[in-house]
Amino acid sequence: MSQFKLGFIINPIAGIGGSVALKGSDGMTMHALALGAKPKANERAHQALEILEPYKDKLTVYTVNDQMGQYCAKSLGFNTELVHEVKTKQTTANDTEHAVKALLDKKVDIILFAGGDGTARNIANIVSNNDKGLNQVPVLGIPAGCKIHSGVYAITPKAAGRVVEMMVNKELVSLAEGDVMDIDESLFRQGVVKAKRYGEMQIPSELRYVQAVKSGGKESDELVLQDISANIIEEMADEEETLFIIGSGSTTAFLMAELGLENTLLGVDLVYQHELKGSDVTEAQLWQTIEQHDGPCKLVITLIGGQGHIFGRGNQQLSPRVIKAVLAQRNGRDNIAIIATKAKLSALNNRALVSDTGDSELDQTLSGYMSIMTGYKDQVLYPVASPE
């Protein structure tokens, strides 16, 4: 029986700036590490490969040395073959591109990679300019970056593993073209989202497991957002001792504007007794604040339009320990207020919201139906799914 040939690449610094509020990792590695950030890409890739452990005898992992794939695959007992070697600890985009070229030479069955939109761009650079038929090789991303706008990623790391599992088992898997999107990180850090399409790659398009391209733009239904904001502001007045942790997004930005407070569109802010107590806080700052706050804490978050993620996309400051601390307080899951218009929910076409915190036990705790605030005193129940 012929071996399934799995091409496997990890960008080990992908997403490293998320927990320390840097809104990305491009050119920010040393700064992020100095702020105490911990690399998570290998951990995310490990979750994907774990799904494939029962098929070790059926596949060979073609990968890069050390933290770019070999370490992860070897730790799970997979047979590996190196296609590229990195000579230094500081990996670069060139390493990713050289690895893709080498995987093409090996005629792998799929290229599975862990990273963010920048990594997808690097891979697309080779996919779009090759003369060896790489467009016939499907590519699938394991979400590990701060920003995931592209439509070439699985919804969670485990979902990526499920798609490859289907291919290993020779199940029918549809193929489609997925857009590669990226944003200008320098503008992103200033609160401006400017996304651009950089090409497309062929992906296994199993809708249960592969995410949509992120919907851009701000909410247009201003009256509905005013109603939602009025509801939250009323809760703030009733809960004077509660620290409100305001997540990222245009919906929560509208709330902050209604409060008359400065807002970090793509970060996390803290509001206590209608005053701004913390702006664009890091995970460590948020954790310390929760530990020191005598009263209750409440998260106010929204979902990513078009994708439905509530955790794990662009809000890595809301780490598992932060979320657990909020859940551990009185009222449990009611301490998480999810706000969204019904139009935004309808655009998901009945797909569940996704919690992808990186902690499977926590994701299971958050799964099931949760209340979504869709107006003033208006709520709907909507399903939240834990990663597959």
Residues 12-45 as b or e (16 or more Cβ within 10 Å = b): bbbbbbbbbbbbbbbebbeebeebebebbbbebb
- DSSP label at residue 289: H
Q: What are phi and psi of 335, to 5 degrees?
A: -80, -5
CB atoms within 10 A of CB 5: 17
Those residues with Cβ within 8 angstroms of residue 361's Cβ, 6 or more apart along the chain or in another chain: none
pLDDT for the residue numbered 16: 60
Per-residue pLDDT of the chain (388 residues), as tens digits, is: 578 999 999 998 876 644 444 444 454 444 444 445 466 789 899 999 999 999 999 999 999 998 999 999 999 999 999 999 988 777 888 999 999 999 999 989 899 999 988 899 999 989 776 654 444 689 999 988 766 778 888 888 888 999 999 999 888 777 888 888 876 555 554 555 556 778 888 888 776 677 666 555 444 477 788 889 999 999 999 999 999 999 988 899 999 999 999 988 878 999 999 999 999 898 899 999 999 999 999 999 998 766 788 888 767 788 999 999 999 998 888 899 999 988 888 888 888 898 988 888 999 999 888 889 988 888 888 889 876 6
Alpha carbon distance 303, 221 (integer Å): 16
pLDDT for the residue numbered 214: 54
Alpha carbon distance 106, 63 (integer Å): 11
Where is 268: in which H helix or E strand?
none
Those residues with Cβ within 8 angstroms of residue 30's Cβ, 6 or more apart along the chain or in another chain: none
Alpha carbon distance 149, 179 (integer Å): 9
Alpha carbon distance 326, 319 (integer Å): 11
pLDDT for the residue numbered 306: 67
Q: Contacts by 52-56 with C-beta closer than 8 Å and gap 24+?
A: 52/6, 52/78, 52/161, 52/164, 52/165, 52/168, 53/77, 55/4, 55/165, 55/168, 55/169
pLDDT for the residue numbered 195: 62
What radius of gyration, in Å, describes the C-alpha atoms of the chain? 21
* CA-to-CA separations, 338 to 309, 319, 354, in angstroms, rounded: 11, 17, 12
pLDDT for the residue numbered 250: 86
- Do 367 and 280 contact (CB within 8 A), yes or no? no
Alpha carbon distance 347, 305 (integer Å): 8
pLDDT for the residue numbered 41: 86
Those residues with Cβ within 8 angstroms of residue 39's Cβ, 6 or more apart along the chain or in another chain: 12, 13, 15, 16, 67
* Lookup: tokens for 140: 């699938």
* CA-to-CA separations, 52 to 160, 165, 309, in angstroms, rounded: 10, 6, 24
pLDDT for the residue numbered 259: 92
DSSP per-residue letters across 1-13: -PPEEEEEEE-TT
pLDDT for the residue numbered 30: 47
What three-state secondary structure class fits 105? helix
pLDDT for the residue numbered 21: 43
Alpha carbon distance 188, 265 (integer Å): 9
Where is 368: in which H helix or E strand?
strand 368-375
pLDDT for the residue numbered 130: 62
pLDDT for the residue numbered 348: 86
At residue 115's C-alpha, the angle toward residues 114 and 116, to 5°, is: 145
* Lookup: tokens for 146: 């701060």
* CA-to-CA separations, 219 to 182, 216, 227, 253, in angstroms, rounded: 21, 9, 13, 10
